[in-house]
Amino acid sequence: MVGGALLIVLTVALQPVTDVRDCSNYGGSGNASVFSDENWDLIYPLLLLAWLSAVVTEQLLPITWNGRKGGLIVARATLAVMVALVASCCAGVQLLGLCH
């Protein structure tokens, strides 16, 4: 949850374009960045991938299981990974594909 919150704060701080009409290439062709610095087009998806990897790693740690039974461990891990995956894909793909 901390990683997701940090990514939300980062996204708000970067102030990406949220409307196609605000893209620098609106009405033309070519690729434009939704961020003011084009380097974030590579860094942002890498951060999303790192967050997803951290969630998967956390679910594999025995301390995360906290005395739960096998079924609850699998259900909790599946839910955590799916939420992180859907959030990463929905936010990342939609945001980064906006001006392309």
Cβ contact 12:78 at 8 Å: no
What per-residue confidence (pLDDT) applies to 11? Answer: 85
- For the chain, first and last CA: distance in Å? 30
What per-residue confidence (pLDDT) applies to 66? Answer: 79
Cβ contact 34:16 at 8 Å: yes
- The whole-chain average pLDDT of the chain stands at 85
pLDDT confidence bin for 49, thresholds 50/70/90: very high
pLDDT confidence bin for 42, thresholds 50/70/90: confident
**Of all residues in the chain, what percent carry a pLDDT higher than 90?**
23
* Nearest alpha carbon to residue 65 among 52, 78, 74: 74
What per-residue confidence (pLDDT) applies to 81? Answer: 92
